[in-house]
Structure 1
Amino acid sequence: MKPASVSHARGVAGMLVVTLMWSIAGVVTRFLDSAQSFEVTFWRSFFTALSLGAYYAAAHGRDTLRLLAAGGKALWLSGLMWSVMFTCFMVAITLTTVANVLVTMSVAPLFTALLARFMLGHPVKPRTWLAIVVAGAGIAWMYGANVSGDSRHVLGTLVALGVPVAGAINWNILQKNGTQVDLVPALLIGALISSAVTLPLSMPFQASMHDIGLLAALGVFQLAIPCTLSVRLARLLPAPEISLLALLEIVFGIAWAWLGANEQPAPQVLAGGALVLGTLALNEAWGLRRRA
């Protein structure tokens, strides 16, 4: 392989790990005892900020503040988008089903590709458009039978829409500025904003120590580590491709729910998941062949 192909392969492998770690949020929240929507969001964001803050303090010491100040507009805009994603996802998942949230997030590749065309001037390859459409259809097929018209579920779905919109903006910011500015500190900014916004809405606290332990694990292993990896990987992969690979979170989420919460998926879920996986595999295989 040529060096570019090696870097691309590493990027794809890295995104597989990232999506696997992202996908545990839905099943873990189903094991919470008493924490409510905003409190769930606060504790997860708090422990994300705590772990990232500890990392930066150990790695950079007093230079942490300088890194935050040196990032400029791109860093703070990316941080704002992370805060929207962190907050909307957890609030939505406590209002509606995991299925409704995930099917809403499936529009992210389309938003990302459209923004990449206008923000970065990147033409979207026909195979990527086709993969987006087919993968989106597969996800809609997976969850079509589960989407509810209940007002609470509708509200949760509308809140969840903030995730793909903010995600599309963020992937393109990372793509445009990630080589000039270290945008990993944006994760810390996003977690701090999310914590600050949801803290007053979380009072009085109702979470048990069991809940806090689970949410601490999510903050570290479902947000801090994989999100940091994803920012680094944005230097290796085009924004639409990263967003497309991120759809694997949905497929992995089904597996976690099946194994961890005994939620056996319906036949259409299995068929739709196979369609998504097959589409992603073909898209990546074709891209690797062209680059080779």
Structure 2
Amino acid sequence: MAKISPHLYGILITAAGVLILSPDGLLVRLIETDSATLLFWRGLLFSLGIFGFYFLRHGFGIRDTVRAMGRRGLLAAVLFCLSTIFFVLAVTHTSVANALVIISTAPLFAALFSWLILKESILPSTWIAIAICTGGISLIFMGSIGGGSRYGDLSAIVCAFMIAGQITTVRHARSIDMVPSLGFAGLLTAILALPFASPLAVTSSDVTYLVLLGLVVLPLAFGLITVGPRYISAPEVSLLMLLESIFGSFWVWLVLDEMPRPETLGGGAVVITTLIIHTGIAYRRRQRGVAAS
């Protein structure tokens, strides 16, 4: 049996992680409890999943990994916690398609933050992509006028900004294993949600969905997605992450019959096409740089 290349391995595990993550929006919609209770259990179970995996792998050596993250680990945890809160608010107050398309722009915002904070230069193609995606998001917002979902769309934008901030923080500490910060993010989410939650007021079906989401989908998906960049480039990871927008919307349409608005389809087509082209340009530029060196 032929051995697969490291590059193909990276593509396969990253794609698997994204596909496993894609029912996230659907599961949030299927859970009938209030948002605070959902956030409490989602955060707590996600934290248990992350720390449980690290404890099985490293034992009490996880303490050294946690200490190595320092303040940047705490900042990454806070930003991921906020992205989780606003993701749930987005998915419960607007269509899943709207939320996922808007959130898919996070890599572009991360480039903007890297320019502002890390003083990394932004190529003209990235500025153009940011401008075009802003237009696509505006089209999605136009479809929400009068429909009562602008709050959800705004939450999706805040979520994208928080994810971008978390990505920038992790990039700043690229030599450090920052995955345990996800566990702290889950724990912080649970703590913030607890005063407003009713942890015992969940149905048996809610328990099933929460366990599936918190202990299986999220830890496994983010675990695989975190391993991917060791084998493939950041542009390739960003391109594969777009699968969540497509498949996440598909699962909701298939199960809940939630059809995206025409404005969402048009704006989403603009955003996703722009991100695909931008990612392709970035990948080709990187390959030329590797060949030249």
TM-score bracket, normalised by the shorter chain, equals: 0.7 to 0.9
Shift in Å, 1:54: 1.6
Q: What SS class does the counterpart of residue 30 from structure 2 fall into?
A: coil
**Identity score, percent:** 30
Residues 1:30 and 2:29 are matched in the alignment = yes
Deviations 1:34-73 (A, max 9, x none): 3111111111112211211221121111112232122211
Correspondence 1:12-91 to 2 at 5 A: 16-32=15-31, 34-91=32-89
Deviations 1:80-121 (A, max 9, x none): 111111222113433444355446535534431221112222
Shift in Å, 1:245: 6.0
Q: What SS class does the counterpart of residue 210 from structure 2 fall into?
A: helix
In the superposition, relative to structure 1, how do residues 166 and 234 fare at CA in structure 2: closer, same or farther (>3 Å)? farther
Give 5+ residue unaligned stretches, structure 1.
1-5
In the superposition, relative to structure 1, how do residues 220 and 147 fare at CA in structure 2: closer, same or farther (>3 Å)? farther
Q: Distance in 2 between matches of 1:131 and 1:11?
A: 26
Q: What is the number of residues matched between the two proteins?
A: 282
Q: Distance in 2 between matches of 1:244 and 1:134?
A: 17
Residues 1:163 and 2:162 are matched in the alignment = no
Shift in Å, 1:251: 3.0
Correspondence 1:185-224 to 2 at 5 A: 185-203=180-198, 205-224=200-219
Give me the CA root mean square deviation.
3.2
Residues 1:280 and 2:275 are matched in the alignment = yes
Instruction: Provide the residue aligned with 2:291 in structure 1.
Output: none
Q: Distance in 1 between matches of 2:179 and 2:57?
A: 13
In the superposition, relative to structure 1, how do residues 227 and 140 fare at CA in structure 2: closer, same or farther (>3 Å)? farther
In the superposition, relative to structure 1, how do residues 241 and 262 fare at CA in structure 2: closer, same or farther (>3 Å)? same
The residue type paired with residue 279 of structure 1 is T
Correspondence 1:254-265 to 2 at 5 A: 254-265=249-260
Instruction: Provide the residue aligned with 2:119 in structure 1.
Output: 121
Q: What SS class does the counterpart of residue 181 from structure 1 fall into?
A: coil
Give 5+ residue unaligned stretches, structure 2.
289-293
Moved more, 90-99 or 252-261: 90-99
